[in-house]
């Protein structure tokens, strides 16, 4: 029988140094969001299935990859992405209520679930950080959202990520483009995969995103959306690009970049490592969307956002050695010898209260074993407590760098350790 006492395929335990890398990435993200005035929102990890399975979403994510389960009379789904739960919550709590407070700038971070084939950078439980700005439409906002993603990548020390950008235009432009795509692909229908037949009917833009068909010869000459943008869509896109130029954010226009969701309009973007082989490499991706807030009953409000895959960011950071795991070293190690009751623990607590990281022995091991443990702890200062010290209310303190050892009263312990660890 297969061993079930192991993590499910496509998931991972984060242990040891990995956790410290994750914490650093999460901290950088939170700090950056604060600088941009985005506040955190935490929605449930599962929702009613209807929240994700929206009528006009024909993406693989919704049609094939969702973890859905029945409980009682209801169907629930583990969230495969962040946007829809956030919009559902935005509407449920009437955050649109006070127009003076719009746009609402939100970010989320946490696990997402998709049943797809696991491979490098692709998991079944993975983690996304994402932002959603709801209730305003402006080229400046589009540029700011991209700048925020770019800033996080930069703060993580990654320098080989490229931003691809495109415009899908407004509804009028997209309708013209959809018609042109249907026209173009009609003679090739027999050569398109089964999913693309569905896409042909529902939203032919998504044919361009097909991982099976995209390298076929006739894709090269598919119509380009830029030829179908109306005047105002073109002007809008130019303003976004101008703002990015002004901010010094490099980008590449990618005519064939379309995004999964059928709600996307105007600006869409994706950040990929420069030497990316294959599509699983996108580290963050997003765009402007219309209609989603209205779908959940919140009226016609535009939105823009992106989702960032944290596993992929961390893989890149590891490849480029741009983050160092925190050593986890203690500042002080407390050694207790003989019959000294809770004297060691008391000393440790006193030092912890003063802000030192303290480790200690709990088992009355030999002096040699305790010194070995103190070595492993990486502590600069070692506090040694024997029966004499206990009786006299004293402590011996050893400096592992200068190799000095002094005896001080229990009351002087904190001050002594402070001087030692500050290198005085
Ligand atoms: P892909 O084309 O790689 O399947 P996607 O279009 O499905 O990506 P989005 O829905 O845009 O991805 O999600 C945003 C980001 O979340 C991606 O750019 C990626 O960094 C990350 N991501 C998506 N799916 C996974 C996964 N299965 N494992 C790890 N990260 C993922
Ligand atoms: Mg996908």
CA distances in angstroms from 111 to 13, 81, 325, 334, listed in the order given: 13, 9, 22, 39
Contact between 286 and 145 (Cβ < 8 Å)? yes
pLDDT band for position 341 (cuts 50, 70, 90): confident
Residue 125 beta carbon below 6 angstroms from any ligand 1 atom: no
Lowest mean pLDDT among 67-71, 76-80, 124-128, 316-320: 316-320
Give the residues across from 109 on adjacent strands: 129
Distance CA 199, CA 66 (A): 19
Q: Is there a contact between 273 and 283 (Cβ–Cβ < 8 Å)?
A: yes
Number of folded domains that form the chain: 2
Binding site membership of 81 for ligand 1 (Cβ less than 6 Å) = yes
pLDDT for 219 beyond 80: yes
Cα(112) to ligand 1 centroid in Å equals 10
Can you tell me the mean pLDDT for 352-360? 97
The pLDDT value given to residue 205: 87
Mean pLDDT of all residues in 336-341: 92
126 C-alpha to ligand 1 centroid (Å): 9
Instruction: Kindly state whether residues 247 and 338 are assigned to the same domain.
Output: no
Ligand 1 in reach of 132 Cβ (< 6 A): no
Domain assignment present for residue 81? The answer is yes
Helix (H, G, I), strand (E, B) or coil at 326: coil
My answer on whether 285 and 355 are in the same domain is no
Band the pLDDT of 424: cuts 50, 70, 90.
low
Could you tell me if 283 and 350 lie in one domain?
no
Q: Give the mean model confidence (pLDDT) for residues 64-93.
A: 97
Residue range(s) defining the domain that contains residue 308:
17-170+230-319
pLDDT, average across residues 191-220? 86
- Of residues 267 and 258, more confidently modeled: 267
What are 130-189's pLDDT values in tens digits? 999 999 999 999 999 999 999 999 999 998 899 999 999 999 999 999 999 999 999 998
Q: Which ligand is nearest to the CA of 112?
A: 1
**Residue 363 pLDDT more than 60?**
yes
In this prediction, residue 97 carries a pLDDT of: 87
Instruction: Report which bound ligand comes closest to the CA of 315.
Output: 1
Q: Please indicate whether residue 161, judged by its CB atom, sits closer than 6 Å to ligand 1.
A: no
Closest CA relative to residue 281, chosen from 301, 303, 309: 309
Please state which of the ranges 113-117, 175-179, 232-236, 381-385 shows the lowest mean pLDDT: 175-179
Query: Mean per-residue pLDDT for 83-105?
Result: 94
Q: Are residues 148 and 289 in the same domain?
A: yes
Whether residue 225 is contained in a domain is answered as: no
- The domain boundary, picked from 290, 319, 348, lies at 319
Indicate if ligand 1 lies below 6 Å from the C-beta of 80. no
Ligand 2 centroid, distance to 116 Cα (angstroms): 8
Are 307 and 338 members of one domain? no
Nearest listed ligand to the Cα of residue 261? 1
Specify the ligand 1 atom closest to the Cα of 118: 27
Does residue 72 lie in a domain region? yes
Say if residue 277 is in the same domain as residue 415.
no
Relative to the CA of 211, which ligand 1 atom is closest? Answer: 2
Which residue owns the Cα nearest ligand 1 atom 11?
285
Q: Are residues 37 and 128 in the same domain?
A: yes
Q: Is cis: bond before 215, omega within 30 of 0?
A: no
Tell me if 1 is assigned to some domain: no
- Quick one: 303 and 406 in the same domain? no
Residues 287-308 have a mean pLDDT of 95
Centre of ligand 2 from the C-alpha of residue 125, in Å = 13
**Residue 139 sits in the same domain as residue 283:** yes
Last-in-domain residue among 267, 284, 319 = 319
**Average pLDDT value over all residues in the chain:** 93
What's the CATH number where 406 sits?
A: 3.40.50.800
Quick one: three-class SS letters along 231-291? Answer: HHHHHHHHHHHHHHHHHCCCCEECCCCCCCCCCEEEEEEEEEECCCCCHHHCCEEEEEECC
Residue 198 forms part of a structural domain: no
* Domain assignment present for 240: yes
Query: Among 273, 298, 319, which residue terminates a domain?
Result: 319
Question: Is the distance from the beta carbon of residue 279 to the nearest atom of ligand 1 less than 6 Å?
Answer: yes
- Give the span between the Cα atoms of 152 and 31, in whole angstroms: 9
Q: How far apart are CA 262 and CA 375, in angstroms?
A: 58
75 shares a domain with 165: yes
Q: Given a cut of 90, is residue 213 above it in pLDDT? A: no
Residue with tokens 């950088």: 28
pLDDT at 153: 97
108 and 70 in a common domain: yes
Whether residue 250 sits in one domain with residue 386: no
**At 260, is the pLDDT very low, low, confident or very high (cuts 50, 70, 90)?**
low
277 pLDDT more than 80: no
Rounded to the nearest angstrom, the distance between the alpha carbon of 61 and the centre of ligand 2 is 6
% of the chain residues with pLDDT over 90: 79
Which of 38-42, 191-195, 279-283, 318-322 has the weakest average pLDDT? Answer: 279-283
- The predicted structure's pLDDT at residue 276: 59
* Residue with token string 């998709």: 114
Ligand 1 touching residue 123 (CB < 6 A): yes
Q: Read off the pTM.
A: 0.91
* Mean pLDDT across 295-318: 96
Alpha carbon nearest to ligand 1 atom 6, residue = 260
CATH code (residue 160): 3.30.930.10
For 312-334, what is the mean pLDDT?
92
Residue 206 lies in a domain: no
Report the atom number in ligand 1 closest to the C-alpha of 281: 3
148 part of a folded domain = yes
Please give the share of the chain, as a percent, with pLDDT higher than 70. Answer: 98
- 3-state SS assignment for residue 397: strand
What is the pLDDT averaged over residues 48-71?
A: 92
In short, whether 309's Cβ falls inside 6 Å of ligand 1 is: yes
């Amino acid at each position: 029988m297969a061993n079930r006492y192991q993590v499910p395929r496509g998931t991972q335990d984060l242990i040891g140094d990995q956790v410290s890398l994750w914490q650093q990435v999460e901290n950088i993200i939170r700090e950056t969001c604060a600088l941009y005035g985005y506040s955190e929102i935490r929605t449930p990890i599962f929702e009613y299935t209807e929240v994700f399975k929206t009528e006009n979403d024909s993406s693989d994510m919704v049609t094939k990859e969702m973890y859905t389960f029945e409980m009682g009379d209801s169907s629930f789904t583990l969230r495969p992405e962040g946007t829809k739960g956030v919009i559902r919550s935005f509407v449920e709590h009437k955050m649109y209520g006070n127009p003076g407070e719009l746009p609402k700038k939100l970010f989320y971070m946490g696990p997402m679930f998709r049943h797809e084939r696991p491979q490098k950078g692709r998991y079944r439980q993975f983690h996304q950080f994402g932002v959603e700005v709801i209730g305003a439409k402006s080229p400046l906002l589009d540029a700011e959202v991209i700048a925020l993603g770019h800033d996080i990548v930069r703060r993580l020390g990654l320098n080989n990520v490229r931003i691809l950008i495109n415009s899908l235009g407004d509804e009028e432009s997209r309708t013209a483009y959809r018609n042109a795509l249907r026209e173009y692909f009609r003679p090739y229908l027999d050569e398109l995969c089964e999913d693309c037949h569905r896409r042909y009917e529902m939203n032919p833009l998504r044919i361009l995103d097909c991982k099976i068909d995209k390298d076929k010869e006739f894709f090269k000459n598919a119509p380009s959306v830029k030829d179908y943008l109306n005047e105002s869509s073109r002007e809008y896109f130019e303003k976004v690009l101008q703002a990015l130029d002004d901010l010094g954010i490099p980008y590449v226009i990618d005519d064939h970049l379309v995004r999964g969701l059928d709600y996307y309009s105007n600006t869409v973007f994706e950040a990929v490592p420069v030497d990316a082989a294959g599509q699983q490499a996108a580290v963050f991706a997003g765009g402007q969307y219309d209609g989603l807030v209205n779908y959940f009953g919140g009226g016609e409000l535009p939105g823009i956002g992106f989702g960032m895959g944290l596993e992929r960011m961390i893989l890149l950071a590891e490849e480029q050695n741009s983050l160092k795991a925190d050593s986890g070293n203690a500042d002080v190690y407390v050694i207790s010898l003989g019959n000294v009751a809770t004297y060691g623990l008391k000393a440790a607590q006193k030092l912890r209260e003063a802000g030192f990281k303290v480790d200690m022995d709990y088992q009355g091991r030999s002096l040699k074993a305790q010194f070995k443990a103190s070595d492993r702890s990486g502590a600069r200062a070692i506090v040694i407590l024997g029966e004499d010290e206990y009786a006299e209310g004293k402590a011996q303190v050893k400096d592992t760098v200068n190799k000095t050892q002094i005896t001080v009263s229990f009351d002087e312990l904190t001050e002594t350790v402070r001087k030692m660890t500050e290198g005085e």
